[in-house]
Structure 1
Amino acid sequence: MTPEVAVDLFREALWLTATIVAIIVVPSLLVGLLVAMFQAATQINEQTLSFLPRLLVILVTLIVAGPWLAQRMIEYTQNLIMNIPLLIG
């Protein structure tokens, strides 16, 4: 395996990981920001108030985007396994 191939595999894996994390984390961050703005406007200083909406948004995101994310991971793994003879030789 040449260094270029190893770097390309690592780049593809890193991009897939970043995509999966972004799809899950970004909606949670946006809801957390909205709840924080609401808390600042109403002066409610409850720490647990932002936890439940973020948790629900992550759950809904996983339900909606989960099959697509799993399919992307399966495709990457299948591609990696099928190309083992080409990568080694």
Structure 2
Amino acid sequence: MDTNAVLDIGLQGILVAGMLSAPILITALVVGFAISLLQSITQIQEVTLSFVPKTIAVAVALIVSGHWMISEIVSFTRMLFDKIPALIGGG
């Protein structure tokens, strides 16, 4: 196993982690921004106001993109298991 293989697997792992976290993070960012904008327009200074809508939006994002997320992580794991013989040096 050489350093290029390790770097390739690490890069692919980071990319998969970024792809899997993107729907949740973007949803939380958009909802948080919208609530903050609403708070600044109405001058409501309640810190905990964005918690419930953000939690609901993240739950909906998980429900909508959950199947895709699971299939991506399963395909990444299968790809890693398929690479084991080549990494060990047997093929």
Q: Normalising by the residue count of structure 2, what TM-score does the alignment of the two structures yield? A: 0.94
Distance 2:19 2:64 in 1: 15
CA deviations on 1:18-51 (whole Å, 9 max, x unpaired) are 1111121111111100100100000111111100
For the aligned residues, what is the CA RMSD? 0.7
Does residue 14 of structure 2 align to residue 14 of structure 1? yes
Structure 1: 5+ residue stretches without partners: none
Q: Is the counterpart of residue 29 in structure 1 residue 29 in structure 2?
A: yes
Deviates more, 1:64-73 or 1:19-28: 19-28
Q: Which residue of 2 aligns with 1:75?
A: 75
Aligned to 2:42: 42
Identify the residue that residue 66 of structure 1 maps to in structure 2. Answer: 66
* Bigger Cα displacement from structure 2, 62-71 vs 20-29: 20-29
AA aligned opposite 2:86: L
Query: How many residue pairs were aligned?
Result: 89
Give identity over the alignment, percent: 34
**Which structure 2 residue ranges, 5 or more long, are not aligned?**
none
Show structure 1 runs of 4+ deviating over 3 A.
Answer: none
